[in-house]
Structure 1
Amino acid sequence: MNVVLIPGFWLDASSWAPVSAALEAAGHTPHPVTPLGAGGPAEEVAGITLADQAAAVAELIDGMDGPFVVVGHSGGGAVAHAVADLRPDRVEQVIYVDSGPLGEGGVVNDELPVVDGVVPLPDWGVFEEEELEGLTDEIRADFRSRAVSVPPLVANGAQQLHDERRYEVPVTLITSTMPEAVLRDLMAKDHPYVRELARIRDVTIVELPTGHWPQLSRPDDLAAAVVAAVQGEADAEEAMAVPT
């Protein structure tokens, strides 16, 4: 199975290294990406949107054969959902890592400060304590040293969706900062935070308790969870291909 890995804000393709290695060991083909415009100078990224980042991933998919699983962490989840909207006939599953699908007109985070035309990794005090769980001083220092900026319109621009077949694409949500029971309750109550998720026909939720960056705080466990979700989809594809 081809697996596209989209990192969240301030991370690049290298942040998926443990997950990529585990996928390869399991016989899958990872395609970690650095989102379009991430880390770029302000004058070059000012007009880049979520739609542009999704289109770049769709172009990657169009250049290869076979089905794909798309994985999105944090803000990368909004891009992953837009990719499912653009290519619902090619995406076999979307895996959200402490994230979820962003609906039409939604924004990832319009409260993040724009500094010199880009959105840099802010001070740690901006985040909730539960988001930072598992990030030791050493991990935080490494994260900050490797952090890449985000184009402003990716953070505060509106999501654009067009094809309701996206709701037919199965979803696995690996949740680190919110228990499954809470998510299911919010879905049942039509809470705006999970309204788009609740519209998806097939949703599996897997708990991986830690902070918002499990690829940093629990990389091996995240890798195992992603491989399990991908393998489940691959097994389903194989079963459908075998005549009965």
Structure 2
Amino acid sequence: MTTITSSPNIILIPGHWLGAWAWDEVLAHLNTSQSRATAMTLPGLDKDDPDRVVKTLDDQAAAVLDVFAGLGVSKEQPAVIVAHSGANFPVSLVLDRHPELVQRVVWVDSGPVAAGSIFAPDLPEGLEELPLPSFDVLGQQASLDGLSAEVLERFQSRAVPEPGPVLRQPLELTNDARRQVPTTLVCCSIPGAQVMELAGAGHAMFAETANLEHLDVVDLPTGHWPMWSRPRDLANAITSAASRTD
């Protein structure tokens, strides 16, 4: 975990296969922005944890709340959550359980998840974990635009397989107050206008976005991993979102 000082509290949560290290370049830019930012590694994505393959979405949500507790986050001093990609499942769970602790959620090429969703419903039951696919395969699922050969090598060498239980667990959401949390979408691989069009049309991946009560949309054109392709611009977008009071 890496922390920088000042306020407000900003919690950076990376997507699948990634740890806190994925935010290093963004943190370097946030360090000059009068923000206090903490990057965390979700349970199941610490390569040194011998029990990581059995971690669940509940474990991941609990870990986010543990970080909140360690930083003194409260209803009076709520945090800003920045969630990239597949971090949307545990973060949606956190928003459902404790919306009062979140001042704003910033989805980075991501968005809220609907109740009952399963990330990989067809994942074979006997498969303990899902390794990072080859970049030929991954590039068909998400844009690799802006990533140099050096970045791709680092991604491949540091990626940790995603635990099977995280990918199979249905998301149980019951608290509509999660939709009242102010939200910023940072749209990278798909333009914001298209995201909102898909949300309005009820597309399964974006439908929950249409239910948000306080939403602003920021376009940051690049691939699916802007923390590496445009770290300074992403840091600026996060700082701007965190300073909003609506």
TM range (shorter): 0.7 to 0.9
CA apart distance, 1:170: 0.9
Q: Which of the numbers 58, 61, 67 marks the counterpart of 1:54?
A: 61
Matched, 1:4 2:11: yes
The ranges of structure 1 where at least 4 consecutive aligned residues each deviate by more than 3 angstroms after the TM superposition are 39-43, 109-116
Map 1:223-242 to 2 at 5 A: 223-233=235-245
In structure 2, give the amino acid aligned to 1:223: A
Indicate the SS of the match to 2:115: coil
Matched, 1:181 2:193: yes
The answer to whether the 8 Å contact 2:127/2:164 transfers is: no
Indicate the SS of the match to 2:100: coil
Matched, 1:141 2:153: yes
Q: Which of the numbers 96, 118, 138 marks the counterpart of 1:127?
A: 138
Q: Which of the numbers 7, 17, 23 marks the counterpart of 2:24?
A: 17
Matched, 1:158 2:165: no
CA distance in 1, matches of 2:165, 2:181: 26
TM-score for both structures, normalised by structure 1: 0.87
CA distance in 2, matches of 1:22, 1:87: 29
Unmatched segments (≥5 aa) in structure 1: 237-244
In structure 2, give the amino acid aligned to 1:211: G
Matched, 1:203 2:215: yes
Q: Which of the numbers 86, 97, 102 marks the counterpart of 1:91?
A: 102
Identity level (%): 36
The answer to whether the 8 Å contact 1:54/1:82 transfers is: yes
Aligned to 1:241: none
CA apart distance, 1:100: 0.7
Indicate the SS of the match to 1:75: helix
CA distance in 1, matches of 2:237, 2:230: 11
Cα RMSD, aligned residues only = 2.2
Aligned to 1:240: none
When residues 115 and 224 of structure 1 are mapped into structure 2, their CA distance, relative to the original with a 3 A threshold, is: farther
Indicate the SS of the match to 2:184: strand
Q: Which one is further off, 39-48 or 150-159?
A: 39-48
In structure 1, give the amino acid aligned to 2:25: P
Q: Which of the numbers 175, 183, 192 marks the counterpart of 2:204?
A: 192
The answer to whether the 8 Å contact 2:29/2:231 transfers is: no
Unmatched segments (≥5 aa) in structure 2: 1-7
TM-score for both structures, normalised by structure 2: 0.87
Indicate the SS of the match to 1:131: coil
Indicate the SS of the match to 1:3: strand
Q: Which of the numbers 79, 82, 85 marks the counterpart of 1:71?
A: 82
CA distance in 2, matches of 1:43, 1:142: 23
CA distance in 1, matches of 2:155, 2:139: 17
CA apart distance, 1:79: 1.9
CA apart distance, 1:111: 5.7
CA distance in 2, matches of 1:208, 1:92: 22
The answer to whether the 8 Å contact 1:42/1:117 transfers is: no
